[in-house]
Chains A and B, each alone.
Chain A
């Protein structure tokens, strides 16, 4: 990933570009959030849905809008934006365009937690939260902690090579554990695991969304401080250090925030693939490589992208649904390739 000279040296103009990108992509994300709940396998009347004279239990349109569609659209927005932004940060941190939010084993750790909960756990809910999301969150945190401990030395920058190798190895190790647990599971549990791995935005209520918000907000808050440092880090750690970047701190913040964002997204909706790699690259093809632009644009475009994919998932074969992870892969992959060919 190269960094355009203008983004490093010329501060003038970046504010205008950022504003226009935020307005453009923000409008896209907002439109997706507002329009997607209106579409679905069933026609609903907005007037009736908002008619307060009809008691909620009698108002089917309101039920569909507020219980079925809005939670999943909001989930799509949160998961899409966090995975896309985490993808941008991971690619910058590792200096590898093939990096994804799942490269460092966070999602496999989450998957292992979910598989263990599905297979052995019966019920250890906390409040309104079910055991599977909690276990997947715990798995993601454990995986991140292991990778972090392996790749860091006190007072020294993180070795991205060690980080990458540790992540890849942990992915393989956790995958083997998942296979072992699946082998021990009965068929239904194994199928539920496979289905969980495909991702699902139909969270059923606002409670899981609210529960994930603190993690999402903390990670997005940290992301906001990273773009300039990531620009310089993309050129090289030494070069960044000479320009005043605290490389070790930036790497740690990037790793921590991207892992946190990924953990929140995966525990909420399962490991939905392709968003974290396709969206950042699509956005770079459209707006350039300056992280001050790419990061917010990816977050907004990621939200719109996943909401759109979910709309397709819940309508194309209605009343039967296609797993949203299948749609992101089938839509994102070819479109990305088309853009690459067109650019080259």
Chain B
């Protein structure tokens, strides 16, 4: 479960961030088609799709959240949440979509990545509706929920999920209001046991926005990229007061946890290291750009402002 979950999260978040599939930021309102959330290529049927194939795990999660789970007939190789996805046929993923298998499932809606333009063309030519999902900030996530809810015939449920999400995020904002905002580094990748291959959240994207909501100032917020690979020198100079390391898997044994946290001791002058505010968080929801971002925002806030949750 943990391994699959890790793969799922990684698929959805990290690589897309790193590869810059879509570097659109959402600190500002969307401006034009390049910065907007995904849009369906065909207008939804009045009844909504009844046989849906999703190649995008976090969109699968959105479909289940709006009540369209029973309409799913196929999911990607990396889908693992919610548990109901395990019973569904696998149809490949970003690099290896199984077109024949997808067609054999007779879908009336296929969710693909925005970069899978050839696949999108194939299904469109076959008369199948396609929803190309593009990765972005919180606004993009909410828009995607709205879109898939509409396409699957659950527009009211989509609005409800969005309302609940907004309410969760607002609750976090209220909790941390008035607190001093610590300078925070949000680590989304690192080679085990060392400070090599460190990737952190930059100044755009949903993780940066969640950190902002949780009452932290992103030390790499000035770099307008979703993921940044900082050198040790840069991390020393940026001097974060809190380091939050996000891992999609399950929490390892205590000795491993201690060893991983100790890897940061090399940067002894960094305030987070000196004050013991290096936090390793584990859980699939932390990096999933979907209906669980409210939970992730609260987890961030609990680390940054523990007093606000007493």
Contact = CB atoms under 8 A, between A and B. Distances in A.
A321 B10 contact: no
A173 interface: no
A320 B225 contact: yes
Contacts of B225: 320
A195 B15 CA distance: 12
Given A57-B274, A60-B239, A319-B223, A131 B233 contact: no
23 contacts: A41-B233, A42-B237, A60-B239, A63-B268, A64-B236, A64-B237, A68-B233, A68-B236, A122-B192, A130-B192, A132-B191, A187-B94, A188-B10, A188-B18, A192-B191, A202-B232, A204-B232, A204-B266, A314-B231, A314-B233, A319-B220, A319-B234, A321-B229
Contacts of A319: 220, 223, 228, 230-231, 234, 237-238
A195 to B, nearest CB: 7
B232 A187 contact: no
A205 interface: yes
A191 interface: yes
B233 A56 contact: no
Interface of B: 6-7, 10-11, 14-16, 18-19, 78, 94-96, 189, 191-197, 220, 223, 225, 228-234, 236-239, 256, 266-269, 274
A198 to B, nearest CB: 11
Interface string A109-122: 00000000000001
A125 interface: yes
Contacts of A56: 268-269
Given A40-B233, A122-B192, A195-B197, A187 B14 contact: yes
A131 B194 CA distance: 10
B192 A131 contact: yes
Contacts of B16: 187
B269 A57 contact: yes
Contacts of B231: 41, 68, 72, 202, 314, 319, 321
B6 to A, nearest CB: 8
A59 interface: yes
A60 B237 contact: yes
A41 B78 CA distance: 40
Contacts of B6: 186
B267 A67 contact: yes
Interface string A173-191: 0000000000100111111
Nearest to B8: A186
Select the residue from B11, B95, B225, B234 with max chain A CB neighbours within 10 A: B234
Nearest to B263: A204
9 closest Cβ pairs, A-B complex: A187-B15, A68-B233, A57-B268, A188-B10, A68-B232, A204-B195, A63-B269, A186-B7, A319-B234
Given A63-B268, A189-B10, 6 more contacts: A68-B236, A123-B192, A130-B194, A186-B6, A186-B11, A192-B197
